[in-house]
Amino acid sequence: PVRKGFSQCYFVGGHIEKHADYVEWKRSILQNVTKVNVKRIEKEGHQPFLRIETRCHPIFQQIRQRLYRGTYRGVDSHFLKSMDWEMLTILFQDDGCSRDRSHVNRNPEITLGLCRLSEGDFELLRKSIENTLGINFNISGSPSNRVLRLRNKHGPIFMENIESFLFPSMKYKFINPDVWLARGN
C-alpha cells in the first residue's frame, strides 16, 4: 500500500496467531530494511490475527512498481528467476491449500490460489515452476477465482521437497507422499 500523502510504499500482511513462527520469520527479514510492527488483532468470531506492518521505504516502492499493475499483482523476470523449492514453499504457506481426500477414496489436492494474477502471469509462473523444479501445475477455475492445481503424479515430489522449508505451524498443510503412492499415482 501507499500511505496517503507519501510517495513511498510500505509492506502490510499477516497471519492468524497460530502462525506466529512464520510471522516472526517475516518480521526478521523485513527488519533488515526498516522498522516493523506486529500487532495482534482480535475480532469477535474470528481467530486472533497478527498484522505485520513496516514503515515506508523506497525498496517497497520499487517492488510495487515491478509486481503491480494498478491493484493487480503480477510476476516479473526476477521473481521467476528466483523460483526454487524454498520460494515455492513460501508461496504455498501464504497462498496454498492442501486437501487429503484419501478418506473418501479420492486423490489429495494441492492448489496455489494466487489472487489477482492475470491468466498470462499464471502461465508464466506455471512454466517457471515446470522448467525449474520439474513439476506441473494446471491452471483452473474462473478468471475471478483462478488457481494453480498440482498434477497428482507430482504430489509426492512436491511434498518431499517442501517439507524441510515448512514452518512448524504450517505443517498442517503437509500430506504424506505415501498417500499418493498408495493410490498408484
Alpha-carbon gap, residue 141 to 160, rounded angstroms: 26
In the chain, % of residues over pLDDT 90: 63
pLDDT of 5 over the 80 cut: no
**Which of the residue ranges 66-70, 111-115, 118-122, 157-161 would you say has the lowest mean pLDDT?**
66-70
Output the pLDDT for position 123: 92
Record the pTM.
0.89
Contact 11, 52 (CB under 8 A): yes
In 3D, which of 174, 169, 121 has the Cα closest to residue 148? 121
Q: Is the dihedral of CA 87, 90, 94, 95 positive or negative?
A: positive
Output the pLDDT for position 115: 72
Angle between helices 85-95 and 119-133 (to 10 degrees): 140
pLDDT digits 0-9 by tens, 115-131: 778 888 899 999 999 99
pLDDT digits 0-9 by tens, 101-110: 777 777 899 9
Alpha-carbon gap, residue 88 to 21, rounded angstroms: 18
Distances, alpha carbon 88 to alpha carbons 27, 96, 142, in Å: 19, 10, 23
In 3D, which of 160, 165, 151, 166 has the Cα closest to residue 178? 160
Output the pLDDT for position 180: 76
pLDDT digits 0-9 by tens, 10-56: 999 999 999 999 999 999 999 999 999 999 999 999 999 999 999 99
